[in-house]
Amino acid sequence: MKHVEGKLAELDHLHIRMYSGRNLFIDQRWNAEDVCSPYWRFYVNSASGASALVDGQAYELVSHRVHFIPAWVRWTCHNTQRIEHLFAHFDIIGIPGIVVRQIFPGPITLAQDPWLEASCDALRPLVSAPKKVLASPIITCQFKAVLFAALSRLFAQLPSEQAQRITLHAQGDHPVASSLRYIDEHLASDLNNQKLALAAGFSEDHFVRLFRKHVGQTPAQYVLERRIATAAERLVFSADGIDRIADACGFPDRFYFSRMFRRRMGLPPAAYRKTSHQQA
């Protein structure tokens, strides 16, 4: 039995962390330029009129269809009328940001799916209440079930090579998978190459080579990205002060945090928090 449980655990590295999800009405106030988030956005609109612009190309958010804006996509949102808007902000735990950027470089519209679209319609009245009601674990599980169903359809349409990359990370089936989890669990610590290699059981040079091969970044690049991503999420979804967020995410001081954050996200932390609070 222990052997079976161990095998199942090896497959359980893909999770959804949901930050917010609601059904509300949007209008022209939804419009915003140069939006970039380290988490995913899920949209199902009751009518057409909204669109996402990426690198000058417009992606219409067709009514009743499921749309994703993947993490790290830099885009402009535009809307022309009042629309009922089901949305979720979430992260896919287990897939590194660089893999997301390479496989999902822009907005995605799923093929028409009556079952999935009916599930979204059934979800709307459950998440139209004030935010405090959305703390219900029952509703959270129902929303996550819809997200998992939509993601399964997204992954099913990937070319085989891209699907294999997702599978390797989802199953934790590569030599530095445990290091990715270690980094997320110790962001406030000093995560230098020597320490990470020791925790993984490799020599430092061998660890760095393995990390670059399987993740596509150096350990230092990955650590900085995870710190910025986690800080961005806390800026939007917590009331923590900027100094506290900087410390919790492993930045030596607020000034270095602000400089690194602005370089990656395009805005200083305070401005990013203010702007993101206005964007569903």
Lay out the sheet containing 57-60: strands in order across.
32-35, 75-79, 50-54, 57-60
Give the model confidence (pLDDT) of 123-135 as tens digits.
Answer: 999 999 765 555 6
Question: Residues of 150-159 as b/e, b for ≥16 C-beta within 10 angstroms?
Answer: bbeebeeeee
pLDDT level of residue 10 (50, 70, 90 thresholds): low
Enumerate the domain spans of the chain: 2-165, 177-277
| Structural contact between residues 39 and 79, judged by C-beta atoms closer than 8 angstroms | no
Q: What is the pLDDT of residue 157?
A: 95
> Which of 76-80, 116-120, 171-175, 185-189 shows the lowest per-residue confidence on average (mean pLDDT)?
171-175
pLDDT at residue 3 tops 50: no
DSSP characters for 242-279?
HHHHHHHTT-SSHHHHHHHHHHHHSS-HHHHHHHHHT-
* Beta carbons within 8 Å of 189's beta carbon, 6+ residues apart: 195, 250
**CA-wise closest residue to 116 among 165, 53, 68:** 68
Q: Which of 1.10.10.60, 3.40.50.920, 3.40.720.10, 1.10.287.90 is the CATH number of 177-277?
A: 1.10.10.60
Looking at CATH, the fold of the domain delimited by 2-165 is given as Jelly Rolls (2.60.120)
276 by Cβ neighbours in 10 Å (0-12 / 13-18 / 19+) ranks as buried
- Do domains 2-165 and 177-277 share one topology? The answer is no
**CA-wise closest residue to 51 among 83, 19, 21:** 83
Give the model confidence (pLDDT) of 204-219 as tens digits.
Answer: 999 999 999 999 999 9
pLDDT level of residue 7 (50, 70, 90 thresholds): very low
Q: What is the pTM assigned to this prediction?
A: 0.91
**CA-wise closest residue to 272 among 55, 176, 260:** 260
| Structural contact between residues 250 and 243, judged by C-beta atoms closer than 8 angstroms | no
For residues 52-63, average pLDDT: 95
